[in-house]
């Protein structure tokens, strides 16, 4: 069984989930007369997270980035905003290391590791929500939809009230550790590809798999892992397959084929061994139907129920991220209808780039919430 220590830790929290959620709700209730009781030792710490109020006067959409957007220095100055110190303090208890120092000071090689990177992006993105709320509370109050790329989907669900911050972070921890272990089983990776209109990505992947078979690799994996924008894909699989695609990029009508700095072939069958630990931990935490529209990476459609959330988050590990399809769902409009204000919350501006390539009109109302701030 993969990562028994991780699953064992999750089991240790099984009986404590409901008290933690109850405490979190008390903490986030505006009417409470005084501070909540401190949680017993070994319980997941409760942290308040901003949620939308669905103000009918205009509306906004929040996008949360995924792994690969991180950089050393993210989070600088954000602890001056409400709740951010509590988020990083809770993260240290849950993760067992100082996440804030890792984000601020690195070293970069440690921040790049899947086990560190995913929690770092998750917490920093939700810290950016606090910054946005401080600078523009209406952007939070009028939010009607959210989406997150890969691990960013957990941040979107927490913001939408579908998951508790601490429980979601613990699930992200389990997810990241399981994906790290899965990536160490065989040499694999991910390749960012921009193709010409005539490029056939699935056929290119088929050729790469046939090449792997000629090298004696049984059941080779090579498939589209991310649908980013028209003619923009990420292909993932065995390293030998990706090498083949790079070496034959011109023949395959690829304009660009660039390796991504990740440890494995995420969102492919090579992540199959990571699904069981994630499924088990998601069965132990409370999941609720999102209070606003949240769109799944698996099919680009909105989540409809708590069971749907659990099912899709597990399936996401071995399924391509259909980001382009999700953006079409979010921004579909009747002719003449106004577009919402869009905010990207987290490190990097990659989601803004994909929005521009998918819907230029919607991208004109895009803004990035920087995950650094003045210390003053």
Give catalytic residue positions: 150, 267
Comparing CA positions, the residue from 221, 231, 236 lying closest to residue 200 is 231
Residues 41 and 97 sit within 8 Å (Cβ to Cβ): no
> Measuring CA to CA, how many Å separate 364 from each of 244, 325, 341, 349?
38, 19, 9, 14
Rounded to whole angstroms, the Cα distance separating 19 from 340 reads 38
Please, which residues have CB within 8 angstroms of residue 231's CB and are 6 or more apart in sequence?
A: 194, 195, 196, 197, 199
End-to-end CA distance of the chain: 49
Q: In what order do the strands lie in the sheet with 254-259?
A: 254-259, 188-195, 232-238, 222-229, 321-322
H or E element at residue 210: helix 201-214
Question: 63: exposed, middle or buried (C-beta count within 10 Å: 0-12, 13-18, 19+)?
Answer: buried
Dihedral sign for Cα atoms in the order 192, 196, 202, 206: negative
3-state secondary structure of 124: helix
């Amino acid at each position: 069984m993969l990562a028994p220590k991780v699953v064992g830790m999750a089991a240790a929290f099984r009986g404590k989930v409901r008290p933690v959620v109850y405490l979190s709700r008390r903490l986030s209730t505006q009417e409470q007369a005084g501070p909540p009781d401190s949680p017993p030792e070994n319980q997941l710490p409760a942290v308040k997270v901003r949620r939308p109020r669905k103000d009918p006067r205009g509306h906004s959409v929040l996008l949360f980035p995924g792994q690969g957007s991180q950089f050393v220095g993210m989070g600088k100055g954000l602890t001056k905003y409400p709740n951010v110190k509590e988020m990083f303090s809770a993260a240290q208890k849950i993760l067992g290391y100082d996440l804030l120092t890792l984000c601020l000071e690195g070293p970069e090689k440690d921040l790049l590791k899947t086990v560190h990177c995913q929690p770092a992006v998750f917490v920093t993105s939700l810290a950016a929500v606090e910054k946005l709320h401080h600078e523009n509370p209406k952007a939070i109050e009028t939010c009607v939809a959210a989406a997150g790329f890969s691990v960013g989907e957990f941040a979107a669900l927490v913001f939408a009230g579908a998951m508790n911050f601490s429980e979601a972070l613990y699930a992200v921890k389990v997810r990241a550790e399981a994906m790290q272990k899965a990536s160490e089983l065989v040499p694999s990776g991910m390749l960012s590809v921009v193709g010409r209109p005539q490029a056939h990505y699935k056929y290119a992947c088929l050729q790469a798999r046939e090449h792997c078979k000629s090298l004696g690799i049984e059941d080779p994996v090579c498939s589209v892992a991310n649908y980013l924008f028209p003619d923009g894909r990420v292909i993932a699989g065995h390293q030998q397959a990706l090498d083949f695609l790079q070496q034959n990029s011109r023949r395959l009508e690829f304009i660009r084929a660039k390796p991504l700095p990740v440890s494995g072939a995420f969102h492919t069958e090579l992540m199959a061994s990571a699904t069981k630990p994630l499924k088990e931990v998601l069965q132990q935490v409370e999941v609720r139907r999102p209070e606003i529209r949240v769109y799944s990476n698996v099919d680009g459609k909105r989540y409809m129920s708590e069971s749907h959330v659990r099912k899709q988050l597990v399936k996401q590990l071995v399924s391509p991220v259909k980001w382009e399809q999700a953006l079409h769902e979010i921004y579909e409009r009747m002719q003449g209808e106004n577009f919402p204000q869009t905010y990207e919350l987290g490190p990097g501006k990659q989601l803004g780039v994909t929005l521009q390539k998918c819907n230029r009109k919607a991208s004109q109302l895009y803004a990035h919430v920087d995950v650094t701030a003045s210390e003053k």
